[in-house]
Structure 1
C-alpha cells in the first residue's frame, strides 16, 4: 500500500550500518552492549530505585544475559536501539540509553534511559540523552524524539529539561508500575529545537 506522505527514513537506515559508538566531550562513551556487561547490569537491577521506575527486575545473571542478547539483536530489527553508557576511561557501566518504539517511516522514536546507583546525580542521563539525540537528528535524520517518565519521577523530569526536551503534556494513567498506575509526562524534541 503506498504512503500518502514522504517516508522520513527508509527501512535499512539503521540495519544497513553498524551500530556506532558515540562519545561525549566530557568522558562518556555510548557503545553497543557486550556479553561481559551481564554482571554490572544484574547488579544495577538489584537497586530498589530501579524497581520503583522500571517494570523489569533481574532474578539472575542468566536472565540478564538474555536481555543483553535481545538488546544486541534489536539493531538489525530497527524497532529498538540500545547502548551501554560507560565511563570512557575505565569502561565502568554507568547506565543505558535507548531509542525505543522506532517508526522509521515517520522519523519518530522514544528516548529511554537508566543509570546505576553510583552514577546518579553526576549528570550521566542528560549527557547520554543529549549525545544520542544529537546523533539521531544530525547523523540519521529522525524528525521527532519523545521522552516519557512518571510524573512522580522528578529526577527524570530534570533529565528531560537538561537534555532540551519540552514538556508537551500529561498522559493520564498511562503506565503500570509496581505501586499502581502512573500519569506520565510526555516531553519531546523535534528537528530544529
Structure 2
C-alpha cells in the first residue's frame, strides 16, 4: 500500500555513516559505547535512585556487557541510538543519553537519559540532552522528539524543561515500576521550537 506523504528521513539516515561523537561545548562528550564501559554502567545501576526511576536493573557486569553490545548494534538498525556521556578531560562515565523508538519515516524519536550518582547536580543530563537534541533536530532533521518521565520524578521534569522540552500532558498509569503504575509527563520538542 503506498504512503500518502513522503518519509521525513529516508532509511540509512543514521546507519550509512558512523555514529558520531557529539560535544556539549562545555566539558562533556557523547560517544558510542565501548565494551570497557560495563563496570561503570554496572556500578551506576547499583544506585537505589536508578531502581526507583528505571524499569531495568543490573545483576552482573556480564549482563551489562550484553546491554552494551545491543547499544552498539542499535545504530545500524536505526531503531535506537545510544551514547555514553563522559567527562571530556577524565573520560569518566557520567551518564547516558539516547534516542529510542526511532521512526525515520515520521522523523520522530524518544529521548532518554540517566546520570551516575557522582554526576548529579552538575547539569550533566541537561547538557547532554540539549546537545543530542540540537544534533537530532538541526543536523539530522528529525521533526519531533518526545521525552517522558514519571510525574513524581521532579528532577527529570526539571531536566526536560531546561533542555527546552515543552510539557504536553500526562499519560495516566503508563509505566509499571517496582512500586506500581506511574503516571508519566510527556514533553516534546519539534522543529522550530
Give the alignment's TM-score, normalised by structure 1. 0.99
Q: Which residue of 1 aligns with 2:146?
A: 146
In 1, the alpha carbon distance for the partners of 2:56 and 2:139 equals: 31
In 2, the alpha carbon distance for the partners of 1:52 and 1:59 equals: 16
Give the aligned CA root-mean-square deviation in angstroms.
Answer: 0.4
Q: What residue ranges of structure 1 are gaps of 5+ in the alignment?
A: none
Q: Which residue of 2 aligns with 1:61?
A: 61
In 2, the alpha carbon distance for the partners of 1:2 and 1:129 equals: 35
The equivalences for 1:1-193 within 5 A come to 1-193=1-193
Cα deviation code 1:77-123 (max 9, x no counterpart)? 00010000000001000000000000000000000000000001100
In 2, the alpha carbon distance for the partners of 1:171 and 1:155 equals: 18
In 1, the alpha carbon distance for the partners of 2:149 and 2:184 equals: 5
Question: Post-superposition shift, 1:6?
Answer: 1.4
Question: Post-superposition shift, 1:125?
Answer: 0.2
* SS state at 2:121 partner: coil
Question: Post-superposition shift, 1:2?
Answer: 1.6
In 1, the alpha carbon distance for the partners of 2:113 and 2:58 equals: 17
Question: Post-superposition shift, 1:185?
Answer: 0.1
List, as ranges, runs of 4+ consecutive aligned residues in structure 1 with deviation greater than 2 Å: none
* SS state at 1:38 partner: helix
* SS state at 2:10 partner: coil
Give the alignment's TM-score, normalised by structure 2. 0.99
In 2, the alpha carbon distance for the partners of 1:147 and 1:140 equals: 18
